[in-house]
């Protein structure tokens, strides 16, 4: 599974192509694409996809370049960052919260930058495991910290509204790098600060 997170779009976003494809889907499910309520749907879906998939055109590491030197070398934790992504297997949303921890080597970034990294990497066709790893990898490259921990808690509409139909069940994934991987005390401190442990 690739964890490449650089801008990965193979071409520019093509609004007309999505509109045509959406009209085809409407007809293919047995509906009438010219019906009043559906006539603007291909255009609306195309504009929505432009937003939902804009992360394909963006580089998460670039937003981490505007940090500041603080000489702070204790753990920083940002918890409960909301995210919305699209399962690449079904093109249905999965969504929830992300907790990020890192131990800086002096350079730190504002919480808004961490949220931007989450936005860029979640606004792509994704799987939760890869999203978790890509966030960790981008932070390692962008901040060069002592270590990084990322926990993603998500609900998947493709599990809730079809297939196994298990609403309310959450998938939790975590990736640890550096001291978060090598030092169990660091990992334990992170998990207790996120509130993931002891629940
Ligand atoms: Zn799915």
Is the pLDDT at 68 greater than 80, yes or no? Answer: no
- Residue 1 pLDDT greater than 60, yes or no: no
pTM: 0.93
Q: How many CA atoms lie within 13 A of 91 on its CB side?
A: 5
Q: Do residues 40 and 136 both lie within one domain?
A: no
Quick: pLDDT tens for 7-21: 778 889 999 999 999
Q: Tell me the backbone φ, ψ of residue 131, rounded to 5 degrees.
A: -55, -45
pLDDT tens column, 149-192: 999 999 999 988 887 777 778 999 999 999 999 999 999 999 99
Identify whether residues 46 and 91 lie together within a single domain: no
Tell me how many domains the chain contains: 2
Q: What residues are neighbours of ligand 1 (ion), with CB under 5 Å?
A: 87, 89-90, 158
Q: What is the pLDDT of residues 184-196, one digit of tens each?
A: 999 999 999 998 7
Give me the sheet containing 125-126, strands edge to edge.
125-126, 76-87, 92-103, 147-156, 171-178
Distance CA 179, CA 145 (A): 9
Q: How close is the Cα of 164 to the center of ligand 1, in Å?
A: 11
Q: What are phi and psi of 152, to 5 degrees?
A: -120, 125
Q: What angle do CA 142, 123, 171 make, to 5 degrees?
A: 90
pLDDT given for residue 71 in this prediction: 78
Pick the catalytic residue from 58, 99, 126, 128.
128
Q: Residue 31 domain-assigned?
A: yes
| DSSP code at position 180 | H
The pLDDT score that the predictor gives to residue 8 is 75
**Residue 6 domain-assigned (yes or no):** no
166 Cα to the center of ligand 1, angstroms:
13
Is 99 annotated as catalytic?
no
Tokens of 134: 């890509």
**SS3 (DSSP) at 67:** coil
- Active-site residue flag, 129: no
Distances (CA, A) of 111 to 33, 50, 92, 176: 44, 25, 28, 19
Catalytic residue among 87, 126, 134, 153: 87
User: Do 184 and 110 belong together in one domain?
Assistant: yes
80 and 46 in a common domain: no
| In-domain check, residue 5 | no
pLDDT at 73: 85
Position 28 scores a pLDDT of: 98
In this structure, are 21 and 87 located in the same domain?
A: no
Number of other CB atoms surrounding residue 33 within 10 Å = 15
Catalytic site includes residue 128? yes
Least confident residue range of 4-18, 101-115, 137-151, 171-185: 4-18
**Residue 119 Cα to ligand 1 middle (Å):** 19
Ligand 1 centroid, distance to 122 Cα (angstroms): 14
């Amino acid at each position: 599974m690739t964890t490449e997170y650089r801008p990965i779009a193979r071409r520019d976003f093509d609004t007309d192509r999505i509109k045509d494809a959406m009209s085809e889907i409407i007809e293919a499910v047995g509906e009438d694409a010219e019906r009043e309520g559906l006539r603007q749907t291909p255009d609306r879906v195309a504009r929505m996809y432009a937003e939902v998939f804009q992360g394909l055109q963006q580089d998460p590491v670039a937003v981490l370049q505007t940090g500041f030197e603080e000489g702070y070398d204790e753990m920083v934790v940002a918890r409960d960052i909301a995210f919305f992504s699209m399962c690449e297997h079904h093109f249905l949303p999965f969504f929830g919260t992300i907790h990020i921890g890192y131990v800086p080597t002096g350079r730190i970034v504002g919480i808004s930058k961490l949220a931007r990294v989450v936005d860029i990497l979640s606004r792509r066709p994704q799987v939760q495991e890869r999203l978790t790893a890509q966030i960790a990898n981008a932070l390692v490259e962008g901040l060069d910290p002592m270590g990084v921990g990322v926990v993603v808690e998500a609900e998947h509409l493709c599990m809730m509204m079809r297939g196994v139909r298990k609403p309310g069940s959450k998938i939790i994934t975590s990736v640890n790098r550096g001291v978060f991987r090598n030092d169990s005390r660091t990992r334990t401190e992170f998990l207790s600060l996120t509130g993931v442990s002891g629940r």
